[in-house]
Amino acid sequence: MLTILFDGVAYGMLLFILASGLAVTLGLMNFVNLAHGAFAMAGGYVTVVLMQRYDVPFVATLPFAFLVPAAIGAVLERTIYRPMYAKSHLDQVLFSIGLVFMVVAAVDYVMGSQQQLIRLPAWLQGRFDIAGIGIGRYRSFVIAICIVLTIALQYVLVRTRFGSRLRAAVDDQQVARGLGVNVGVIFSLTFAVGSGLAGLGGALGVEMLGLDPTFPLKFMIYFLIVVTVGGRSGLTGPFTAALLIGVVDVAGKYYVPQLGAFLIYALMVAVLFLRPQGLFAVAR
Amino acid sequence: MTMALDTPRPALTDLVGKTLSRRRRWKLGEVVFWGLTAAAPFMLPRGMLLLNEVAILALFALSLDLILGFAGIVSLGHAAFLGAGAYAAGLFALHVNADPLTGLVVAVLAAALLGFLTSFLVLGGTDLTRLMVTLGIALLLFELANSFSAITGGADGLQGISMGPLLGLFPFDLQGRTAYLYSLSVLFVLFLAARRMMASPFGLSLRAIRDNPLRASATGVAINGRIVLVYTIAAAYAGAAGALMAQTTQFVSLDVLEFHRSADLMLVVIIGGAGWLYGGIIGAILFKVLQDAISLATPQYWQFWIGLLLVVFVLGGREILHGLLARSRTALAKLASRRAP
């Protein structure tokens, strides 16, 4: 029972890291990017390729899993994403679905459609017992990384100059510009970091979520749920929502496996019906 | 004061009436278009199966156009109603009665019921909430159909459906001739109904809601009621498309509820142009021809090209295409008017 709770928390933490970039672009910048999962998949494949072809140890691949998607994100933001900011939600949806379709087919072509497997180092395998609760080593590792990242993110967003500039740019672009904030650069940086975090999450998730070319489509809905259910006013809402979803999903799949993901979708529809602005949103 | 509010000014009512009746009038191009579709079996006897798919997709697109193009409700889960109709028609044919028309009615009612019940979920909220809710409902249905494999056949699908002859007279043939004419007639009848609806005060009020909900409600349009009604109607249309699909292919699988159905449908409506009843039909024709051509060339990776098309479309291709369409339409109209006198 507690093991399930622990696994759920690990899963939720991972979801939060995966979706944190989306929490900023969709939640704060109000840009619907359904292709967010593609960056996560990029990170996952960076790790897989480095480990399988170049024998790089798992932990050493993680920085690359952050940097490569971040670079891709920065380039794409500068070139094709920027014109989309001003367009309608419908256009943004169509555009990013198109991107997802392209990425899924392209990755299938290059990497093949099979599930990718990686061998974790020995010190991350297996589990240990604390007071009779089985705790996976890898899951504790993931939780530890995610906690550090979450604290860092919250700190950057709330306490630093960059964070306050970002919040200003999101709240009112024109005024922020007028005050000398370089909105374009801030958005590029934010987008890149968000993509990088997604990539890192994707790399960490190869072991827990699996990795194949349909990853962006399979998990798209989960990321969206985290952000829309969490509310779009900061990172605390999505964080709580991610934990909630992680625990409910793991418990649901364990106790009533025949329902599959039914519980999560039902939860989402119910929350959005009762609180269209999200579970933890403050009315604006 | 209340008197003045209750009775609209006669000049205005007159103007609205005139505009609407002008919209209702049939244009030459439309007659030619439907004539061509009816003559298609003689011109393209081998393309019946593909044409049948086009007609069904056109009906499905018409359904999305009703809510997206006219009422401005975005939906990423329209496959829910297609699937509901398909499964209803399939199960009905399998367990109750193999008559196609009865099955069609049953499927339409089932999808309309689902549409009515879920319409309340899209009433409030922003575009984003609507996208999520509709997507969620489609996913829910997919999971349900997957879980209750005893009824739906799960991943294997509903097998062994055999349809009775249409009207008791025309059996479904292998070339798909009956199937196409059946789908085309259903499309035509439902298109007529949609055409009439959208050129009525009801259609006008939907556009008002799409353009500015606040102003629409200020002028006395009961927004919620209208949205529930149009959403239910659109669901019924999609259910009819699902029923046609199930009956003419005599097979239903989880594929009808897949996400790509809803996403492709968006593309179909956007290619042809939303908010224009022929948009869905033209989009369906272009989409199917394109799909056929691409999947002949690269069967496995055809989604890549669909994706590229979407991206290019949103980044600026749409204006170009619709400019071309508009120009050719005016050219055709000029041609027709020159011939007419």
Q: Which residues of B touch A108 (CB under 8 A)?
A: 300-301
Q: Is B311 on the interface with A (CB under 8 A)?
A: yes
Average pLDDT over residues B148-154: 74
Per-residue pLDDT reduced to its tens digit, B98-150: 788 888 899 899 999 998 988 888 887 677 778 888 888 888 888 888 877 77
pLDDT by position in tens, chain A (length 284)? 777 788 888 888 888 888 888 887 887 777 888 888 889 898 889 888 888 888 888 888 888 888 898 999 889 888 888 888 888 888 888 888 888 888 888 888 888 777 777 777 777 777 776 666 667 788 888 888 888 888 888 888 888 888 888 888 877 878 888 888 888 888 888 888 889 988 988 888 888 888 888 888 888 888 888 888 777 667 788 888 888 888 888 888 788 777 767 778 888 888 877 777 777 665 44
List the 213-252 stretch of A: residues with Cβ below 8 A of B: 217, 221, 224-225, 228
A260 and B143 within 8 Å at the Cβ level: the answer is: yes
* A154 lies in some domain: yes
pLDDT band at B241 (very low <50, low <70, confident <90, very high): very high
For residues A73 and A55, the answer to whether their CB atoms sit within 8 Å is no
* B117 lies in some domain: yes
pLDDT of residue B2: 43
**Number of structural domains chain B divides into:** 1
State the count of interchain CB pairs (< 8 A) between A and B. 119
Q: Is A99 on the interface with B (CB under 8 A)?
A: yes
Task: State how far residue B82 is from chain A, nearest Cα, in angstroms.
Answer: 19
- B68, B135, B313: which to substitute to probe chain A, counting the most A Cβ within 10 Å? B135
Task: State how far residue A82 is from chain B, nearest Cα, in angstroms.
Answer: 11
Q: Which residues of B touch A258 (CB under 8 A)?
A: 147
**DSSP per residue over A21-55, as a string?**
HHIIIIIIT----TTHHHHHHHHHHHHHHHHHHH-
Q: Is A90 on the interface with B (CB under 8 A)?
A: yes
Task: State how far residue A161 is from chain B, nearest Cα, in angstroms.
Answer: 30
B307 and A259 within 8 Å at the Cβ level: the answer is: no
Per-residue pLDDT reduced to its tens digit, B59-106: 999 999 888 888 888 888 899 999 999 998 888 888 887 788 888 899
* B259 lies in some domain: yes
Task: State how far residue A254 is from chain B, nearest Cα, in angstroms.
Answer: 15
Q: Is the pLDDT of residue B236 over 90?
A: yes
A93 and B315 within 8 Å at the Cβ level: the answer is: no
**Closest-approach residue (CA) in chain A for B312:** A95
Q: Which residues of A touch B137 (CB under 8 A)?
A: 269
* A198 lies in some domain: yes
- HSE-up (13 A, CA, CB side) for residue B297: 9
* B248 lies in some domain: yes
* A63 lies in some domain: yes
pLDDT of residue B339: 55
Give the ipTM of the model, two decimals please.
0.78
Which has more pLDDT, B3 or B46?
Answer: B46
pLDDT of residue A260: 67
B131 and A32 within 8 Å at the Cβ level: the answer is: yes
Q: Is B125 on the interface with A (CB under 8 A)?
A: yes
pLDDT of residue B60: 92
* Structure tokens, B302: 């055809």
Facing A104 at nearest CB: one of B127, B133, B303: B303
d(CA A30, CA B188): 41
Q: Which residues of B touch A93 (CB under 8 A)?
A: 74, 76, 131, 266
Facing B136 at nearest CB: one of A90, A104, A265: A265
Q: Is B266 on the interface with A (CB under 8 A)?
A: yes
pLDDT of residue B232: 92
B310 and A104 within 8 Å at the Cβ level: the answer is: no
A105 and B307 within 8 Å at the Cβ level: the answer is: yes
**Number of structural domains chain A divides into:** 1
Degrees (nearest 5) of the Cα angle A144, A148, A150? 115
Q: Is B267 on the interface with A (CB under 8 A)?
A: yes
- A92, A226, A269, A274: which to substitute to probe chain B, counting the most B Cβ within 10 Å? A269
* B200 lies in some domain: yes
Per-residue pLDDT reduced to its tens digit, A162-221: 888 888 887 787 888 888 888 888 888 888 888 998 898 888 888 888 888 888 888 888
The domain containing residue B285 runs over which residues? 22-297
The domain containing residue A180 runs over which residues? 2-213
Task: State how far residue B11 is from chain A, nearest Cα, in angstroms.
Answer: 37
| Secondary structure (H, E, C), chain B | CHHHHHCCCHHHHHHHHHHHHHHHCCCHHHHHHHHHHHHHHHHCCCCHHHHHHHHHHHHHHHHHHHHHHHCCCCCCCCHHHHHHHHHHHHHHHHHCCCCHHHHHHHHHHHHHHHHHHHHCCCCCCCHHHHHHHHHHHHHHHHHHHHHCHHHHCHHHCECCCCCCCECCCECCCCCCHHHHHHHHHHHHHHHHHHHHHHCCHHHHHHHHHHHCHHHHHHCCCCHHHHHHHHHHHHHHHHHHHHHHHHHHHCCECHHHHCHHHHHHHHHHHHHHCCCCHHHHHHHHHHHHHHHHHHHHHCCCCHHHHHHHHHHHHHHHHHHHHHHHHHHHHHHHHHHHHHHCC
Lowest mean pLDDT of B4-8, B116-120, B265-269, B313-317, name the range: B4-8
pLDDT of residue B206: 80
A273 and B133 within 8 Å at the Cβ level: the answer is: yes
Q: Is B149 on the interface with A (CB under 8 A)?
A: no
B263 and A109 within 8 Å at the Cβ level: the answer is: no
pLDDT band at B3 (very low <50, low <70, confident <90, very high): very low
Q: Which residues of B touch A26 (CB under 8 A)?
A: 128
* B17 lies in some domain: no
Which has more pLDDT, B271 or B164?
Answer: B271
A228 and B129 within 8 Å at the Cβ level: the answer is: yes
Q: Is B309 on the interface with A (CB under 8 A)?
A: yes
**Closest-approach residue (CA) in chain A for B134:** A269
Q: Which residues of B touch A87 (CB under 8 A)?
A: 314
pLDDT of residue B4: 45
CATH classification at residue B145: 1.10.3470
* A176 lies in some domain: yes
* B160 lies in some domain: yes
